[in-house]
Structure 1
Amino acid sequence: MEFSEHIKTANVEDVVLRQPLHPPSRGTLCITGHHLLFSDREEDSSRQLLLLLRNIDAIEKSVENLSGYPGFLSKAGHSERMTGSSGTITIKCKDLRVLQLDIPGMEQCLNIAHSIETLSSLDNVSEMYPFFYRPTELRLQDHWGLSTPEKHYNQMKELHTRWRLSRVNQDYSVCPSYPPAVIVPTIIEDETLRKAAKFRQGGRFPVLCYYHRKNGMVIMRSGQPLVGANRKRCTEDELLLQAVIFRSDKGYVIDTRSSQQVQQARMAGGGFESKSCYNHWKRLHKQMERGKALQESLIKLVEACGDGSHNMDRWLSKLENSKWLSHVQTALSTAGLLAECVER
C-alpha cells in the first residue's frame, strides 16, 4: 500500500497547536505514513511534537466557513471561500493526551483529518510502523532497567534452598505471556510445570513473583484453573501449590472476582481452586473491576479534570460519577489484604 494516496495535504504552515499546561504555539504541521509532526516556527524555540498515528484514539473536527458571513458568498469564488475558512482538529490520544490543532483553510483541515483517520486505523499489521522503522543502532540485548527473574533469583540467596530457576518457558511454548525463566519450587520438575500449565488459563501456572525476607512468605501469580462444569482436577497443579506450603502453614488464594463471576466462569470452562483438592489453601474474594470498566472510568476522570467550565460542586459531581476514586480504594484495600496475608 502507498501511504501517499491517503495524504492529500502533506504539510501546512501557520498551524496553532494547543495542549494543556502549555501556551499555544504556531508552526508547521507535517503528516507522514506513520507520524504527525509539528515544529514551532520561532527560531529560539525547541518545541516539537512527534506523534505516532497509532497512538490516536479518536479525532473531532470542526470547520468555520466564512461564506456564512453577509456578502462573502456573492463576492468570493469557491477557492477563495475554502481559503478564507479555518478548521480545528481535536486529537484524543490513547495515552489520554488531548491536542488541538487550529488549521487555516477548510480544505487543508479536512484533508489532514481524513489522513489521520485513515492512517491511524490501518488493518494490515505489516503496514504498521515497526515494519518500517530502521534504527541506526540495534541494541536488542539492553533491558529496560527492569529486574529479570534471573537477576532477582541471584540476588535472593534465601530462595536457593526451596526454589529454583526454571527455563521451561524458554521458547514461550508453555505460556506466551511469561518470561523465558520463572522461579518455581525446587521439588517440582519441568514436566510437572508443563502439565500444570495446561490446567491454567493462558498457560499461566503458579510462579513466584515476590519473596518476603522477614518471614519467608511468598506471593505467587497464576491464571484461573480450568475446572469447568465437570469439576476437573489436575494432580500436577495440586502438587505445585502443595510444594509452596511449608510444613503445616496455610496459604491464601485471593480471587479478584465476585463469587457470582466465579460460578459463571466455571460454567464457561474456568473456575476456582476447590477446598477438597486444595485443602491447605483458603480462598478469599476481593472483587475488582476489569479493563473496560477501568478504562471508561479513567476517561470520565480525564474529561472532568480537563473541563474548566464547571464550578466546584459540578466538578466534584463529575468526579464521583467517574467512580475512579472507588476503584482506587478497592485496589488499595485489596493490596492491604494481600499485605496482611504476607505478614501473618
Structure 2
Amino acid sequence: MNVLPVANISGEVLNREFTNISCLDYVPVLDVPDIGKRQQGYFTLSNFRIRFHREQIREDDASNCNPIINIPLGFIRDIRCDPRATKYEFVLITRLTMDLVFEFRQTPKTSSSSDAETKMTIKQQKDKLIKLLIDAAFPLDTSSEAKLFAYLHKKESEPDPGWKYYNGLRHEYKRILDERKSHSQFWRVEENTNYCLIDSYPEFFYVPEKAKLEDLRAVKEFRTKGRIPVLSWCHPNKGSVIARSSQPRTGVGHFYSSTADQSYIEMLRDSSLAEQLTIADARPKRNAIANMAKGGGTEAGITAKSQTGYTAEGRLTNVKFFEIDNIHVVRGSFEKLKNLLADTKCNDFHEKLEKTGWLAYIQRILFAGVAVAEKIECESQSVLVHCSDGWDRTAQIVSLAMLMLDPFYRTMEGFATLIEKEWTAFGHKFSERNGTCRQSQEKEESPIFLQFIECVWQMWIQFRHAFEFNELFLIKILDGFYSNQYGTFLYSSDKERQSHLVGDKTKSIWTDLLFDEVERRGLLNPLFNRNFSKTKGALLPSVSTRAMKLWRIYYFRHNPLYCPRYDLRALNLQLLSTVDALRQTEIQRKNQQQKMKASVQSVPTQQQGKVDSRRALNLAALSSTNVNGQPLSSPGLVDIPDAIQASGNQSSSSLNRAADMSPTRSGSTSPQFTIVNRESEMI
C-alpha cells in the first residue's frame, strides 16, 4: 500500500518508532506472500506519513527498505479504538478504499506489570501513539498552521515556478477576452481590493461593462454569500459566455425580489451577445424550493403561471435544474462505495456498485457539463451556473464545460490554470471538503473535488487523444490534494491563503508535476494529438449509463486481487520513446526529400532529361524507406496516433490492457480514434 516514494522528502522528520505492533487487516501488495494474514512488524511515524515494515526487514534502514504500508497522514480520516475489541487495538479510517487495523502485542518484557522501569505499558504506548497521530494528521484542530507539513516542505532558497498559474489569472482572462475580438469591449475588470467587496472571490473578476460598483453592491445583497454573477469563460468566436454565481435570495414564494439583480442579469445577457440566457441550477428542484425557507431560492417560478421578472422584452431566460444532490448525499454515497471496494468477498459486485449511486452522480455531473457546453457551442446561448453557495457543484459544472469547449484546458498547463481559476480562486472550500479539520468532517467533508477529477477521467477514456496528460497526472493531483504536502489546496479562499502567506511559505503542486522534467515526461499522454482539437471543436462525451466506468486504476491500485499491477509510468515512457523515434525518422526523411528536390532543381536544363528517370526512382525509394533503408508502412507519420500505428502499437496495446478502459476495437491491434457524441437522452 505505497502511495509515496520510500525515501524521506524535504521537511520530513521521524517522530517516533514502535516495534511491537501487528497489522491485523490490510490490503496487501504483491510482494507480501501471506495475503490476508496478520503481519508483525514495526510502525514508524514522521511529521508527514506512516510506514509499517515487516519484522524480517527490521534491520534495514527504514528510509530505504520497502514498507508494506506507506501513506501520508493526510490520508487518515479518523482514528478509532474499537470498544468491542481488545484494549490494545486501534483503527485508522483512511480516505482510500480500505481501513487499517493495528494492535500492540505483548512481549516477554512488557507482560510483567512489575517491571515499570524498563518500558511503558502497552496501553500507555497505544495512547501515546494515538495522541501523536491525532496531532500530526489533524493539525488544524489546534488552529495553528505551524504544524501543517506544507509549511515545512518548501526550502527557503528553492524556486517555486508553479505559483505562476495561481498568480497568472489576469493573463488567462486576457486570453479568454482576446482584445482583437469585438465582444471583449463588453466586459470590464472589477478590482476586489483587500477582498472588501466579496471575501470568497479572487482579487479581481470580470463583470458586464455597463455594471457600476453600486449595481454590484445591490446584487451582492440579493445573492447568497454575496457571490454575484461573474464571467468564467467567453466563446472566442460567438461571444456567448459561461458565468457563475450563488443562488438568489428570493424567499418563500418569491416574496423578495430585486430589480437590481434582474437588471444585472439583463446586462449579463447583453454583454454576451446572446439573445437567450439559460440559468443552469445544479440542484434538484425540490431542494431549491426547500432552500426558500432558509432564505435562499431560485429564479424559476414554482408553477408554470408564476413570473419571476427574469424574462423581459421578449427575450427568454430559461431555468434548467440538473438534479445533482448536495455534499451530504455525496458523502454517504462515497462511504457506500468505499465499503464495497473494501469487501474482497463480494459476489454481486456490479449490483451493489449500482446501489451506491456513485456512478449515477458522476453521470449527472457530466450530463450537466455537456448540456452547458451544448448551449454555448451549438445554440450560441449564454449560461449562468449556480447551486446554493456556488463553490461546489457550480465549480464542477463550469470546469467540465470549459474543458469540453476549450482545448487549452486539456493541456497540462491549461488544466493547472483551470483548477487555480475555477476552484482555488473562486473559493472552493478545500480545507472543509477534504476533512483536514475533524471538527468539520460531519458537516462539511465531501469528495467534491474527487468527483470532478473522476469526471475528467471519464472524458479522458473516451477521448484519450485529446488530452496532453495521462491518468497518472490526475492521480498525482488527487494524492497531492489529500496529502497536505502542497499549499495549492490549503484553506478555502484567496483571502485566507494570502493571510497565511501560502504563496511565500509553501510549495505549489505544479512545481513538482510540471517543472520537474523527469516527472513531467512520465505524466505525458503518448496518444495526444494536438491537431485533433483544432479541427473537431468541442468534445461532447457520452453520458449514457453504459459509458460510465469505475476508475479501477485509482480505486484498486492497492489491491492486486482486483487490479493487476502494471507499471503505467514505464509503459508511457516506452510509448513516448517510440513516438519520438518515429517523429525523428519522419523529420530526417522529409529533410532528405527536400535536399533531393533541391539538387534536382539545380541541374542545368540540357541535362534535365537524363536525370528524370533517376529522380523518380530515388524519390520513390526515399518515400518508402527511412534513413536506415528500412521500409516504412506509412509515408506520413505526422501525429502520434499515426506513428503508433506504424510501429505496430505493441506498447499501446499493453497500456490499454492495463487501464482496461480502451476504446472499442474492430479486428485490429491499432487504436481506433473516433468522437463519441453524447446520446440524446440519459439511459
The farther-off stretch of 98-107 and 138-147 is 138-147
Change (3 A) 1:148 1:102: farther
Match of 2:325 in 1: 289
After superposition, where does 1:80-99 map in structure 2 within 5 Å? 88-94=89-95, 98-99=99-100
Change (3 A) 1:248 1:94: closer
Answer yes or no: is 1:184 the counterpart of 2:207. yes
Match of 2:43 in 1: 29
Match of 1:171 in 2: 194
- Contact 2:21–2:42 (CA<8 Å) still a contact in 1? yes
Match of 2:147 in 1: 129
Match of 2:77 in 1: 56
Count of residue pairs the alignment pairs up: 312
Gap runs ≥5 in structure 1: 1-8, 66-85
Q: Which amino acid aligns with 2:43?
A: L
Return the structure number with greater strand share: 1
Measured against aligned partners, the alpha-carbon deviations of 1:295-318 in whole angstroms (never above 9, x if no partner) come to 11011112211211122x2x2232
Determine which of 261, 277, 291 is the counterpart of 1:237: 261
Answer yes or no: is 1:249 the counterpart of 2:275. yes
- Contact 1:53–1:116 (CA<8 Å) still a contact in 2? no
Determine which of 143, 155, 161 is the counterpart of 2:175: 155
Match of 1:4 in 2: none
Paired residue secondary structure (1:107): helix
Q: Which amino acid aligns with 2:239?
A: G
Query: Counterparts of 2:97 and 2:198 in 1: how far apart (Å)?
Result: 31
Determine which of 201, 222, 240 is the counterpart of 2:224: 201
Change (3 A) 1:132 1:148: closer
Paired residue secondary structure (2:18): strand
After superposition, where does 1:264-343 map in structure 2 within 5 Å? 264-273=290-299, 275-279=307-311, 280-311=316-347, 313=348, 315-343=349-377
Match of 1:80 in 2: none
Change (3 A) 1:29 1:152: same
CA drift at 1:194:
2.3
Measured against aligned partners, the alpha-carbon deviations of 1:146-168 in whole angstroms (never above 9, x if no partner) come to 5854122121214532212221x
CA drift at 1:252:
0.5
CA drift at 1:191:
3.0
Identical counterparts, % of pairs: 21
Q: Which amino acid aligns with 2:127?
A: N
Measured against aligned partners, the alpha-carbon deviations of 1:76-134 in whole angstroms (never above 9, x if no partner) come to xxxxxxxxxx9554311246663444543353663256426753567441387249955
Paired residue secondary structure (2:203): coil
* TM-score normalised by the chain length of structure 1: 0.75
Match of 2:631 in 1: none
Query: Counterparts of 1:276 and 1:53 in 2: how far apart (Å)?
Result: 46
Gap runs ≥5 in structure 2: 1-14, 33-38, 107-121, 301-306, 380-683
The farther-off stretch of 14-23 and 188-197 is 14-23
* TM-score normalised by the chain length of structure 2: 0.40
CA drift at 1:195:
2.1
Q: Which amino acid aligns with 2:367?
A: S
Query: Counterparts of 1:160 and 1:26 in 2: how far apart (Å)?
Result: 66
Q: Which amino acid aligns with 1:150?
A: R
CA drift at 1:340:
2.4
Change (3 A) 1:216 1:96: farther
Match of 1:77 in 2: none
Change (3 A) 1:323 1:184: same
Measured against aligned partners, the alpha-carbon deviations of 1:55-80 in whole angstroms (never above 9, x if no partner) come to 43243558987xxxxxxxxxxxxxxx
Answer yes or no: is 1:263 the counterpart of 2:289. yes
Answer yes or no: is 1:38 the counterpart of 2:38. no
Task: Give the number of the structure with larger relative contact order, counting CA–CA contacts within 8 Å between residues 6 or more apart.
Answer: 2
- Contact 1:57–1:94 (CA<8 Å) still a contact in 2? no
Paired residue secondary structure (2:144): helix
Answer yes or no: is 1:143 the counterpart of 2:188. no
- C-alpha RMSD of matched pairs (Å): 3.7
